[in-house]
Chain A
Amino acid sequence: MRQSRSSFDWRKITESKLFFPITALALILLFDLIIIPNFFRITFQQGHLYGNLIDILRNSTPVIALAIGMTLVIATGGVDLSVGAIMAIVSSVAALLMNPFVLGTQLQAIKNDPTYSYSPFWVVLLLPLIVATICGLWNGLLVTYGKIQPMVATLILMISGRGIAQLITNSQKIQIFYGPFVYIGNGWLLLPFSLYIVAFLCALAWLVTRRTSIGLFVESVGINARSSLFSGIDEKKVKLFAYMFCGFCAGIAGLIGTSNISTSDATSMGLNLELDAILAVVIGGTLLGGGGRFSLLASVIGALVMQAVTTSMYAIGVSANSILAVKGVVVILLILLYSQQVQDFIRKITGQTRMKETQS
């Protein structure tokens, strides 16, 4: 049976990794279209775009950054629970670099001069990212050489990370006034500036995984570590890389998140975000616990799904506390959508449509 080229091939579309995340996103946006008036209105003010959709994009940037790194870790068959804690550490380090005086005994008044920073801007950006990457290295070492299960290994930093973050700033919240840093999460360049950062990160991750053989090795190790060993792939190096890259991405997320609220807050920065990131990756179709095939773009859309749910709930007036419960329901629905039975059912329907098309 030859497939007709000219007809719209539904089957190919439903078998794509992007099909289900996009369907999920479309369903949520459809809900918004019906329930919430003006949800899709985008206004143009002072050369910038504003609106609910833009808000979804802007608020999802930290989760997108986390999801990109998490995708690689999950693809190797692991998971990283510590990314939220790494964000908190990054937040503390960055704030301290800009304003170390809070640790002084005389408690010098916090400078609210937007041009002032104790360390040069590039140090403020680079050092926290290095710290975050080292955190990832730590996780990776525990998993590869320590042979600890990923969930347990990263749990260590998940719990201790916030403590470390508090130690760094002596348990103080540090307000940030330094203009260039505030711009990261609050600036607009037609679109929110942080969007450009994650777009760049996503492109970087794509280049690193798909224009080198790293992506192939990550998938190979995740699917069958023993076959990979026999083929000469160094599983430990591949996993170390994945966890380090995940740490780096958490660093980016931490910088964006800190800039967003212009405060370093070790207790709430990135709290529970690791779960959003993991869910985003799962929605993107990478198997949690199984590893294997991954799609960065699908994970990014997964992150947007998570944020779209949150934003929609706020928009219809669900309180912040009940949103977690609503998220739970959405996750159940999504997992149903992903189940083999439902997928087979959808493929059957689309397959039949295709057959009819070819016959006619």
Chain B
Amino acid sequence: MAESKDIITMEGIHKSFPGVQALEDVDFTLKTGEIHALVGENGAGKSTLIKIMTGVERPNRGKIVLDGKEVFIRSPEHAQDLGISTVYQEVNLCPNLTVAENILIGREPMKWGGIDWKTMNARARQILQGLDIDLDVTQTLGLCSVAIQQMAAIARALEISSARILILDEPTSSLTTHETEQLFGVMRKLKSEGMGIIFITHFINQVYEVADRITVLRNGKLVGTYNTAALPRLELIAKMIGRSLTEFDEMIKIKLESSKLIKGESLLQARGLGRIGAIEPFDLDLHAGEVVGLAGLLGSGRTEIAGLLFGIDKPDTGSMSMDGKAVNDYSPIGSIGRGVALCPEDRKDAGIVGELTVRENIILAMQASLGWFKHLSYQEQYEIAEKYIQLLNIATPSADQPLKNLSGGNQQKVILARWLATNPRLLIMDEPTRGIDVGTKAEIQKLVLSLAEEGKSCVFISSELDEVLRTSHRIVVMRDRKKVAEFSGEVAENKVMHAIAGSLS
């Protein structure tokens, strides 16, 4: 790659927010025709760096050089004009518009002073076909799967014709393996056309699959930029978290120890529980002191099981009992009363209350179960909040910080704290580690095991199989909205994989 030259260079970037030094003296260079992975734990400053590059935030100090000329990026529109386009971590599209409208919004082809729908739909279809995706572009985006929504977001970023820099912020966190492969194909194609691609991800495998170079950030500081080929994986992880990963071995030990403590009688029993169109009738037994992993692909019915157990949805068939007593009240507040908690899959939509402070978010469910008039005094609220901030190691300047100012991993910890504060007996966690860095992932997995040791029953849902294998005493496999298999004890990874895929082992 002798002819590849620098497109964008950022030098000595500083950025601070009230109470937080987000970036300190960070340098970053992107060349033409390369895929450059930007990695680091949550709160390392990846998102902030991207926001500065795209004009969302302005640096306190430092300069940005584009094509050898120093530029001052004023706004996201200005960044687009300069050829920098971005797909953000959380899908930021309009769910009420069609796929085509979302892709071409703001650049609709016009005819007779109105929108030329025919051309627009054809153009959108063509763009998607460039990504090897064939779908009806006139359907409403909100009805599509998250994966398709993500693809639409990427298509939208690509549509900007002059784009020379493409930033993908966690594009694969909700994609299936096949879709991820598709995306990588597109990325390699764009790279061969000379585009510079910044790829932010938490999946180390994917970094090694596509990236040419890696830049590591930690706590707002630059650790270094490396050629992928010259950096072994373990070394990369050590650079990201600043310590080695003996924790994983430790976890397996804890798991084996704690499996002796599982209670014989079941805490929760579901018999033929099902909901038409969501999940076929299933039986499930959960025991105190046990971690049950739900494995399966996206949309296989994992989230639907969680919804039924927590009472977000009411079942059409079957029954559920807890402590031997039949459950009649299928509602979140009823579940909280029974000691059931659900950490939902969609953190942004169903988890955080962004403008409320960390403290208020932590006490929210506890206060809801106490009712309107048994108000926790502010002193009690602070005590609870401080306790969990310490216990879960939540990085926040204070308990009074609005939750939206925290990084994704710390937001997730706050949601966990919200449920731990209700002192549940059954804790259901739906994708608690999605979009979270390696260090925090390990922390959360360890937390799950220690909760089981305390005698709580945990349901752990995750798309990452090794994570499910590592933490669960028992694994339930879902496929096509059906419970298809159950494994307990030590399970071989390929057995579970076969069950997920539906092929005979």
Q: Give residues in A with beta carbon < 8 Å to B.
A: 1, 11, 211-214, 216-217, 219-220, 223-224, 226-234, 292-293
- The answer to whether A212 touches B364 (Cβ under 8 A) is no
Residues in chain A near residue B352, CB distance under 8 A: 224, 227
Q: In chain B, residues 333-354, which have Cβ atoms closer than 8 Å to a Cβ of chain A?
A: 333, 335-336, 342, 344, 349-354
**What are 7 sample pairs from A and B whose C-beta atoms fall under 8 A apart?**
A213-B372, A217-B372, A220-B360, A228-B364, A229-B312, A229-B350, A232-B365
CB of B323 within 8 Å of the partner chain: no
Q: Is B122 interfacial (CB 8 A cutoff)?
A: no
Q: Which of B355, B364, B373 contacts A231 (CB 8 A)?
A: B364
Which residues of A lie under 8 Å from residue B407 when comparing CB positions?
none
Contacts of A226 in B (CB 8 A): 349-350
Complex CA distance for A170 and B410, rounded to whole angstroms: 63
Distance in angstroms from B401 CB to nearest chain A CB is 13
> Is B356 interfacial (CB 8 A cutoff)?
yes
Question: Contact between A231 and B418 (Cβ–Cβ < 8 Å)?
Answer: yes
The total of chain B residues at the interface (CB under 8 A) is: 31
Contact check, B333 vs A1: say whether CB atoms are below 8 A apart. no
Question: Is A223 within 8 A of B349, CB to CB?
Answer: no
Instruction: Judge whether A224 and B354 touch: CB under 8 Å.
Output: yes
Contact of A216 among B351, B360, B373 (CB under 8 A): B360
User: Are A212 and B375 in contact, with the CB atoms below 8 A?
Assistant: yes
Shortest A29–chain B CB gap in Å is: 31
| Separation of A232 and B353 alpha carbons in the complex (Å) | 13
| Contact partners of A233 in chain B: CB under 8 A | 333, 364, 368
The reply to whether A232 and B336 contact each other, CB–CB distance below 8 Å, is yes
B321 to chain A minimum Cβ distance, whole angstroms, is 21
* Residue of A214, A217, A220, A232 with most partner-chain B CB within 10 A: A232
Q: A72 CA to B321 CA in the complex, in Å?
A: 39
B369 and chain A: residue at smallest CB distance: A232
For the complex formed, measure the closest distance between the CB of A315 and the CB atoms of chain B, giving whole angstroms. 39
| Cβ-defined partner of B332 (8 Å) among A212, A224, A232 | A232
Shortest beta-carbon distance, A197 to chain B, in Å?
A: 25
Chain B positions near chain A (C-beta within 8 angstroms): 16, 18, 312, 332-333, 335-336, 342, 344, 349-356, 360, 364-365, 367-376, 418
* B375: A residues at CB distance < 8 A: 211-213
Closest to A290 in B: B355
Contact A232 B16 (CB under 8 A): no
- Shortest distance from the beta carbon of B280 to any chain A beta carbon, whole Å: 24
* Cβ–Cβ contact B332 & A223, under 8 A: no
CB distance from A261 to the nearest CB of B (A): 38
Given the complex, which residues of A lie within 8 Å of B364, measured CB to CB?
A: 216, 220, 228, 231, 233
Contact status of A216 and B367, CB under 8 A, knowing A229-B332, A230-B312, A232-B332: yes
A310 to chain B, nearest CB (A): 32
A227 lies within 8 A of B373 (CB): no
The CA of A226 and the CA of B352, in the complex, are separated in Å by 9
Pairwise interchain contact B356-A220, C-beta atoms closer than 8 A: yes
Which one, B16, B335, B350, B374, contacts A227 given CB within 8 A? B350
Given contacts A219-B356, A232-B333, contact A227 B349 (CB under 8 A): yes
Are A228 and B333 in touch, CB under 8 angstroms?
Answer: no
CB < 8 Å: which of B332, B367, B370 contacts A230?
Answer: B332
Q: How far does the alpha carbon of A213 sit from the alpha carbon of B368 in the complex, in Å?
A: 8
Contacts of B365 in A (CB 8 A): 231-232
> Cα distance A227–B349 when bound, in Å?
7
B372 and A214 contact, CB distance less than 8 A: yes
Minimum CB distance partner of A287 in chain B: B355
Contact A223 B418 (CB under 8 A): no
CA distance A212 to B344 in the complex (A): 27
Alpha-carbon distance A11/B360, docked complex (angstroms) = 23
Specify which chain B residues have a CB less than 8 angstroms from the CB of A228 in the assembled complex: 353, 364
Chain A residues within 8 Å of B418, by CB: 231
What's the Cα separation between A292 and B418 when bound, in Å?
Answer: 19
Q: Is there an interface contact between B353 and A224, defined as CB atoms closer than 8 Å?
A: yes
**CB <8 Å contact, A219 and B355:** yes
Q: Are B360 and A227 in contact (CB under 8 A)?
A: no
Which of B342, B349, B353 is within 8 Å of A220, CB to CB? B353
B350: chain A residues at CB < 8 Å are 226-227, 229-230
CA distance A219 to B335 in the complex (A): 23
Q: Nearest residue in B to A292 (C-beta to C-beta)?
A: B355
Knowing A213-B372, A214-B372, say if A230 contacts B342 (CB, 8 Å).
yes
| List of A residues within 8 angstroms of B356 by Cβ | 216, 219-220, 223
In the bound complex, how far is the Cα of B375 from the Cα of A4, in angstroms? 34
